[in-house]
Amino acid sequence: MTIIEQIITVSMAVLATVLTRFLPFLIFPGNRQTPRFIQQLGTFLPGAIMAMLVVYCYKDLNFGTPSGYVPAIIAGLVTAGLHLWKNNMFLSIAVGTVLYMALVN
Amino acid sequence: MTPHQVRWRAFKAAVPYTLPILAGFAFLGLTYGIYMHQSGFNFIYPMLMSLTIFAGSAEFIVANLLLQAFNPVGVFFITLIINSRHLFYGLSMLDRYRHTGWKKPYLIFGMCDESFSINYTATIPDGVDRGWFMFFVTALNQSYWVGGATLGGLFGSTIPTHIKGLGFVMTALFIVLCINQLRHESNHLSSKAGAILAIVMLLIVGQTYFIPATMILVILVFTIVYRQKELTDDHH
């Protein structure tokens, strides 16, 4: 690729990303009443999004070998359990991550 | 409060929320920068790409596509598919980003998974300006990512990468934010639908398309529930 082709390639990725982020705000601008369906959809979605993001983090699990999925699942369960128990965001994240690092190293 | 005090107070409230992301983004950004370095790119590439695209998984894929034959339309559509989840973030943020003035375009531009999740779930303390809080969360997160990517691109493989597994900090973050969300919602239909459909779609359509596929089905679930609610509301 020439430098111009590279610039175009990156620009296309920027354009597509910006589009996915701005589109809802362009279709439903702040100065107009948002349809009730969309308003309610907006309050319904976050639960599904958060769950989807967790699944997204686990999409690369490899069930072919125990080391491909056991550490991630154990550390995830410990993070969740600790957060349900103590409700301390930083504690849960720190313990879960350190445990994961200990398990994979 | 003076404008300076307003900003300072929002900054101090925002920093702690971004610390897990500092760890995750510094590490993943470094990995991305090193990857670019090893693919033969000058550090300017990861620096500018992390600044302008600012969507982690898309940046890795574009790095790959830069090494192949020129195909701008292909790049456009693959990025659109990977980043389609942002559409959901926007729909959920229509209200919260309202009345944020000149910060709004930047808040939307910088709405990555992490900034959205924090800005949506954080309980912003009384007396802290919402607009500035969300601005600092977004800007700090982006600076961590760009900083990591630039350093990785500059120093390449001379950076020790035996901090294996630090990337799990992002998984832990989303687990915690997911639980916070579960605590706040009145019923768990959305979370359950998201979890089950995402797993099923991942198994059926695979890694590339499971997010948009799940999104379509989640909207379908919502539409059915919404219709039923309207019907019962009409009867009363």
- Interface touch A47/B62, C-beta < 8 Å: no
Across the range B27-46, mean pLDDT stands at 90
Least confident of B140-144, B149-153, B158-162, B226-230: B158-162
Q: Which of A21, A44, A93 sits opposite B111 (nearest CB)?
A: A21
pLDDT, tens digit (0-9, with 9 covering 90-100), for A4-60: 999 999 999 999 999 999 999 999 998 888 999 999 999 999 999 999 999 999 998
| pLDDT for res B235 | 67
The owner of tokens 């990591």 is B148
B36 touches chain A (CB under 8 A): no
Contact by Cβ (8 Å): B195, A54: yes
pLDDT, tens digit (0-9, with 9 covering 90-100), for B167-182: 888 899 899 989 999 9
- Whether residue B93 is found in the same domain as residue B141: yes
| pLDDT for res B67 | 92
Residues of A in contact with B173 (CB under 8 A): 93
- Whether residue B88 is found in the same domain as residue B129: yes
DSSP string, chain B: --HHHHHHHHHHHHHHHHHHHHHHHHHHHHHHHHHHHHTT--THHHHHHHHHT--HHHHHHHHHHTTS---HHHHHHHHHHHGGGHHHHHHHHTTTTTT-TTHHHHHHHT--HHHHHHHHH--PPTTS-HHHHHHHHHHHHHHHHHHHHHHHHHHGGGS----TTTTHHHHHHHHHHHHHHHHH-S--HHHHHHHHHHHHHHHHH-TTTHHHHHHHHHHHHHHHHHHHHHHHHHH-
For residues B84 and B232, the model is more confident at B84
- Whether residue B142 is found in the same domain as residue B218: no
Checking if the pLDDT of B160 tops 80, the result is: no
Q: Left if phi > 0, otherwise alpha if psi is -120 to 50, otherwise beta: which for B156?
A: left
Contact by Cβ (8 Å): B132, B2: no
- Whether residue B121 is found in the same domain as residue B225: no
B189 touches chain A (CB under 8 A): yes
A85 touches chain B (CB under 8 A): no
- Interface touch B91/A96, C-beta < 8 Å: no
One-letter amino acid for residue B9 of the chain: R
Confidence of residue B231 (pLDDT cuts 50, 70, 90): confident
- Interface touch A20/B170, C-beta < 8 Å: no
Q: Which of A46, A51, A83 sits opposite B120 (nearest CB)?
A: A46
Confidence of residue B161 (pLDDT cuts 50, 70, 90): low
Query: What domain range is B121 assigned to?
Result: 3-184
Least confident of A50-54, A78-82, B163-167, B214-218: B163-167
Q: Which of residues 120-139 of B touch A (CB under 8 A)?
A: 120-121
- Whether residue B228 is found in the same domain as residue B132: no
Residues of A in contact with B84 (CB under 8 A): 20
Count of domains for chain B: 2
Checking if the pLDDT of B236 tops 80, the result is: no
- Whether residue B110 is found in the same domain as residue B208: no
Contact by Cβ (8 Å): B169, A93: yes
Query: How far is it, in rounded angstroms, from Cα A46 to Cα A53?
Result: 10
- Whether residue B159 is found in the same domain as residue B178: yes
| pLDDT for res B28 | 86
Residues of A in contact with B20 (CB under 8 A): 89-90, 93
φ, ψ of residue A62 in degrees (nearest 5): -115, 110
Across the range B143-170, mean pLDDT stands at 84
Confidence of residue B197 (pLDDT cuts 50, 70, 90): very high
Tokens representing residue B210 in the block: 């499971």
Residues of B in contact with A54 (CB under 8 A): 171, 174-175, 178, 195
A89 touches chain B (CB under 8 A): yes
Checking if the pLDDT of B162 tops 60, the result is: no
Q: Which of B66, B95, B168 sits opposite A75 (nearest CB)?
A: B168
Across the range B99-110, mean pLDDT stands at 96
| pLDDT for res B159 | 65
- Whether residue B66 is found in the same domain as residue B137: yes
> Which residue of A lies nearest to B91 if distances are taken between CA atoms?
A42
Residues of A in contact with B177 (CB under 8 A): 50, 53
Residues of A in contact with B97 (CB under 8 A): 25
| pLDDT for res B35 | 86
- Whether residue B156 is found in the same domain as residue B230: no
Percent of chain B with pLDDT over 70: 97
- Whether residue B211 is found in the same domain as residue B161: no
Residues of B in contact with A60 (CB under 8 A): 207
Across the range B25-45, mean pLDDT stands at 90
Give ipTM to 2 decimals.
Answer: 0.92
Contact by Cβ (8 Å): A9, B70: yes
Confidence of residue B164 (pLDDT cuts 50, 70, 90): confident
Across the range A82-103, mean pLDDT stands at 93
